[in-house]
Amino acid sequence: MIKIKNATLQIFLESRIYIVILLLSACMSSCGLFDKEIKQDKHIAEFRYRMNRVMDSLDNHKGRIKAFEEIIERINADEDLITLRKKNILLIEGNTFISNEYLSLENYKKAIKYANIIIDIDSTSPKGFYNRGCIYQIINEDSLAILDYNKALKLNPDYSDAYYNRGIIYEELGEYDKALEDYNRAIKLNPSYIIDVYTNRGNTYLAKEAYDKAISDYGKILAIDSTNIKAYSNRAGAYIMQKEYDKALTDCNKAIGLDSTNINAYQKRASVYEAQKEYKQALDDYGKILHLDPQNKFDTHETVRKAIKKLRPLSRYK
């Protein structure tokens, strides 16, 4: 009986030792993986630092392109970045920098080439499709841009930039319902540039003659930024279309108070004064426009001179 107990105890102790050995082995293995992760993350941070330093330290496009190409070569050769996914993320970032440099140089062919490289690196990433879509949009290849934005949004349905840019194209094409749909989606994602989205959506409502909705959007902009001159001027235009001249005049005055050289606000205020039969004030504003645009840079002279010719006789009898 004693022997059985001792044998049982021995088996128990041996099994415990075996379990401890397994646990130690597993711990050492996990620690090794953890160390590898730390090492990889350290290398990633170093490469990102180098890329940011390129932007800060070099002041010409060609120099930056060359520096980025050298960094990409080092990323490809780095054996510590064993994880392909992590290496690809860095390669996408590096090639994005190069694509943007060529875009700044207006070398659109090369910019598209590097956007294609990004897509080849990882066709499941929306980044390359979005970047290429931006380039196509800049060179007025709208149909190709829309195709790329569609692909980017299929891969990432929460890509607010793609919704916004595609909305701009639809707005310019006069496809206002599609534009509104994209702007609505972008607004729900609350991007940092939400004022721009509200501006475009307001302008689209204005084009559709949905003046109350346009006024609402311009009001939302002013709730965020009470010094937004464009919002005051745009809302004044919507009020003019509704013949709410007092409200339009208030917004024009606010815009001019913020920027005394704002030709658009003077034009709208002049039209308000004209509608209110305040011809002398209207003439003053039209004269101010000619003073602000002596070289006719903003193509104001023909319209303004016609208005002045019409209003001068009327102002004598006011």
HEC-encoded secondary structure of the chain: CHHHHHHHHHHHHHHHHHHHHHHHHHHHHHHHHHHHHHHHHHHHHHHHHHHHHHHHHCCCHHHHHHHHHHHHHHHHHCCCCCCHHHHHHHHHHHHHHHHHHHHHCCCHHHHHHHHHHHHHHCCCCHHHHHHHHHHHHHCCCHHHHHHHHHHHHHHCCCCHHHHHHHHHHHHHCCCHHHHHHHHHHHHHCCCCCHHHHHHHHHHHHHHCCCHHHHHHHHHHHHHHCCCCHHHHHHHHHHHHHCCCHHHHHHHHHHHHHHCCCCHHHHHHHHHHHHHCCCHHHHHHHHHHHHHHCCCCCCCCHHHHHHHHHHHHHHHHCC
Are the CB atoms for 159 and 191 separated by under 8 Å? no
Phi-psi group of 191: left, alpha or beta (phi > 0 → left; psi -120 to 50 → alpha; rest → beta):
beta
219 vs 225: CA distance, rounded Å: 10
The pLDDT assigned to 19 comes to 57
The pLDDT assigned to 282 comes to 96
The pLDDT assigned to 129 comes to 97
65 vs 8: CA distance, rounded Å: 72
- Which comes out higher in pLDDT, residue 38 or 176? 176
Are the CB atoms for 96 and 112 separated by under 8 Å? no
The pLDDT assigned to 80 comes to 79
Structure tokens at 84: 């392909």
The helix (run of H) or strand (run of E) holding residue 100 is helix 84-104
Query: What share of the chain in percent tops pLDDT 70?
Result: 88
The pLDDT assigned to 84 comes to 85
The pLDDT assigned to 47 comes to 87
Burial class (CB within 10 angstroms; exposed 0-12, middle 13-18, buried 19+) of 282: buried
- Quickly state the pLDDT bin for 178 (edges 50, 70, 90): very high
